[in-house]
Amino acid sequence: MKKVLITGAATGIGKELALHFAKNNWNVIATMLCLEQGKELNKEKNIHCYLLDVTSTESIERAKQQILEDFESIDVVINNAGIGYRSFVEFSEDEEINNIVDVNWLGVVKVCRAFTPVFRKQQKGHFINISSIAGLVNLPLGSFYHSTKHAVESFSECMAYELMNFNISVSTVQFGNTPSNFQKNVSKCKTTPLKCYNELMHKISSIVEGKTKKNTDLKESIKEKVLKIAENPPRKFKRNTIGFDANALNILRNFLGYRIFGRIIHYSVFR
């Protein structure tokens, strides 16, 4: 059986991916911040849970040693762990900024850094880095979340060049708002003294909530696409955009350019 390591597998898309891969006869190495959250996953015979904090080099190394004692090889690493932060730059908080950078970008960097030698030794491997349509376009109140996802895209593409000679490849996956617990856990800026800011926060939150509820089929598409990538990894770096919203935004942004695209977003939000 092939083996896949998934970060942030206790909840949300990570959990869905773990169950989907297990159902399709993969050995799943499900990593998470709290093993208590992995009780349901542990019931599956080919899902194995490990404690791993993507923000901690020490935690990643401990988990890696435990995993390599249990498994001789790993075929795919899926960097899924991620958090959200919706805020105005003016009222942003250091702790929130540090957290989202540590998890969304540096977490991907540290996990890739730790498992590249494993892939290199076995002369094969594939990294799938879960990004977001936020990594390709820019939308209101996304200064921090979008920045980290853009960073993941750039990091992944650069790293792919380094690893080609070792038969190690890299893919990124972008999608829009998915019905899961992710949006519920997004940190948001508190009410500000400025009315226009508060109105904008309410408008954006309402738009996101509405889009999330409508994307009922997106979760299945994500699971099927990620499994397909894992089973047939491309040799060269590839971006994979999933879902109508993400594809539409990506096409509009590339076709229209940032000025006209910006006008459309401005009209949609501030009309």
pLDDT over 60 (residue 267): no
Round the average pLDDT of the chain to a whole number and report it: 89
What pLDDT is stored for residue 188 in this prediction? 86
- Helix, strand, coil abundance in the chain, percent, nearest 5: 60, 15, 25
SS3 66: helix
Per-residue confidence at 187, pLDDT binned at 50, 70, 90?
confident
Helix count (H) and strand count (E) of the chain? Answer: 9, 9
More confident site: 86 or 207: 86
Question: For the segment 72-83, what is each residue's pLDDT rounded down to a tens digit?
Answer: 999 999 999 999
* Section 54-79 average pLDDT: 97
The Cβ of residue 41 has, within 10 Å, a number of other Cβ atoms equal to 22
Once rounded to an integer, what is the mean pLDDT over residues 15-40?
95
pLDDT winner (highest mean) among 63-67, 140-144, 176-180, 216-220: 63-67
Angstrom distance (rounded) from CA 16 to CA 28: 12
Q: Which of 122-136, 158-172, 207-221, 255-269 shows the highest mean pLDDT?
A: 158-172
Q: Which domains are present in the chain?
A: 3-243 (3.40.50.720)
Other Cβ atoms less than 10 A from the Cβ of 49: the count is 22
pLDDT at residue 222 above 80? yes
Prediction pTM value: 0.91
Q: What is the pLDDT of residue 119?
A: 98
Are 144 and 188 contacting, i.e. CB atoms less than 8 angstroms apart? Answer: no
